[in-house]
Amino acid sequence: MKLDSKIPEGPLAEKWARHKFGLKLVNPANKRKYDIIIVGTGLAGASAAASLAELGYNVKAFTFHDSPRRAHSIAAQGGINAAKNYQNDGDSVFRLFYDTIKGGDYRAREGNVYRLAEVSVNIIDQCVAQGVPFAREYGGLLANRSFGGAQVSRTFYARGQTGQQLLLGAYHALSRQVTTGKVKLITRTEMLDLVVVDGKARGIITRNLITGKIESHSAHAVLLCTGGYGNVFYLSTNAMNSNATAAWRAHKKGAFFSNPCYTQIHPTCIPVKGDYQSKLTLMSESLRNDGRVWVPKTKEDAELIRQGKKKANDIAEEDRDYFLERRYPSFGNLVPRDVASRNAKYVCDEGRGVAPTGLAVYLDFADAIKRDGRKTIEAKYGNLFEMYEKIVDDNPYETPMMIYPAVHYTMGGLWVDYNLMTSVPGLYALGEANFSDHGANRLGASALMQGLADGYFVIPYTVGDYLATIGPADKIPVDHPAFREAEQRIQEMNNRLLSIKGTKTVDEFHKQLGHIMWDYCGMSRNAEGLKKAKTMIQELRKEFWSNVRVMGDAEEMNQSLEHAGRVADFIELGELMVDDALHREESCGGHFREEYQTEEGEALRNDADFTYVAAWEYQGENKPEILNKEILEFENVKLTQRSYK
């Protein structure tokens, strides 16, 4: 199938303006005749719901939380990028565009990325107007700091709570529309299926997480703002409830899934402590502004540290290897996340890791405290240091933090065109749920930027173009057979899960899947391991459907049943991730195939054969998916070997 990305013609800097002028409009009196469903109320969902309701549309917003304020966007710590150039350090819209394209290892669309950089400046203005308490510098302007993959300071922040503060701003805007009645907020409700009639998205099937009731909801358009799929790895920085069910069920109804193997490993997370853990804790990338990453130069010193016979401060300066500064003198500790993560893995694989497990490196603030003083560091990172101390029981002002890479973000997601519409007309995907802006690796502080760009400044224009085309009469009632059939399928699936009554818990299956994914499709992959993983996942899937034990009943609060449905989807998605990683015979960004690397151990792309978006098309249960390719064209940047040296 030929994929039409709908990228506008014309100069890069004029594409979005020209496109907006060419979009069809819905007049204000007609907007109130259209119903829009939004699934997810994080930054993308809350901003989209508030913006569309403000325009006059009738919005139903769904969240499986008890409040939008609990959406996982609150967990983002370090900041949000924008090309304001307040620092006068050479930033611009084009430089943000270039850094994002380069950071994604030249596997993203130029048009989408430039639009993201262009509207970034508006996002900051909107959030300030909403009262988001960004940090300020001595002159009263908003402060900025650096993040990985950039040599300028363009990251706006509110200490280590930026995501939470931005979500509060969007939540206030959403709450205003809930009060006016333009948004109907439906909490503790999970989307379990997409209803497609005559090739168009017509609504969703949900389950009330309190009562277990299966319900149908109809609309003219459906927006999925449901985040990423990092929890396929079991251990990740995502909240435990974060899942891929809404996007995966939409995929099975015709929405193409793009680049699923592109997963981001975040370099600064608290290391795994033991088998009892169910998630990992992120330490903001902003810490790499002042923290220096190092390990001992010798295996002997590292072994003594692991045995508890030496401490970090016992290692003399000349016996420390500041390996990021050594290998990448231009960027130092601020190399992109994929580069920092792989290098941490390399030194630990050499036997120089410093935790009892051997899987950790140091992030040391001693030089920054000596240079700027403890109060300055407290002002920048105080809450992050407090969080670290509470979890690890170690004071990072006095001894270096221990960090190690962990699964964090997913660059893959539902395929969308320039309008954020999936391959199913009327179905849109925003924020991390889509694949569109980050290529093979996301730069730090760009997730919040994309979520708010999509919700505040893109979808309000583009959804109107579709609605104007179909007209307000083109809505299917919930008593249509397609809704009844979808409800029945969900009930049958729930009953099937409850009737198996096997011997293994859902959590055991999830953890087993996570080990397979991390070992064979994690920080590095190879053909042999991926083929082995595919077989293991297929065997795990068979065992799941014959031996899982799900307690309780369908028509009641049942978290075991919720989890079972999500893990069933993760198992299927995990197999597609392996297929995608296996077919892409190159290394790029977060996808590192060991067979394809430079002599210095860097990712080696194959631009001749793989400069495309892989968009997978579902063919039915236990059938191979069809690979569709959207060729990426680069007119404004030159494809070069990425270098941060």
Residues annotated as catalytic are 337
Amino acid at 569: D
103 alpha-carbon distance from chain centroid: 15
| DSSP secondary structure, 105-128, as one string | TS-S-HHHHHHHHHHHHHHHHHHH
| DSSP secondary structure, 147-205, as one string | -TT-SS--EE-STT-HHHHHHHHHHHHHHHHHHHTSEEEE-SEEEEEEEEETTEEEEEE
Residue appearing with tokens 């899982």 = 548
Strands of 10-103, DSSP E: 35-39, 58-62, 80-81
Would you state the torsion angle of the CA atoms of residues 304, 309, 314, 318, taken in this order, to the nearest 10 degrees?
Answer: -20
Please state the length of the chain: 645
- Residue 582 in contact with residue 527, Cβ under 8 Å? yes
> Cβ neighbours of residue 440 under 8 Å, at least 6 residues apart?
104, 105, 107, 259, 262, 338, 411, 588, 589, 590, 591
| Distance between CA atoms of residues 385 and 400, nearest Å | 11
Could you tell me the two tokens for 200? 């168009």
At 505 the three-state DSSP class reads: strand
**Radius of gyration, CA atoms only, the chain:** 24
- Residue 292 in contact with residue 367, Cβ under 8 Å? yes
CA atoms in the 13 A half-sphere facing the CB of 2: 2
Could you tell me the two tokens for 10? 């014309």
Q: Using alpha carbons, list the distances in angstroms from residue 306 to 312, 356, 400.
A: 10, 5, 15
Characterise 12 by phi-psi region: left (phi > 0), alpha (psi -120 to 50), beta (else): alpha
Q: What is the largest CA-CA distance in the chain?
A: 75
Amino acid at 119: V
Backbone phi and psi for residue 427, each to the nearest 5 degrees, phi listed first: -110, 125
Could you tell me the two tokens for 6? 């709908």
Could you tell me the two tokens for 253? 């109804």
> Cβ neighbours of residue 473 under 8 Å, at least 6 residues apart?
none
Strands of 213-288, DSSP E: 214-218, 221-224, 257-258, 263-269
CA atoms in the 13 A half-sphere facing the CB of 54: 18
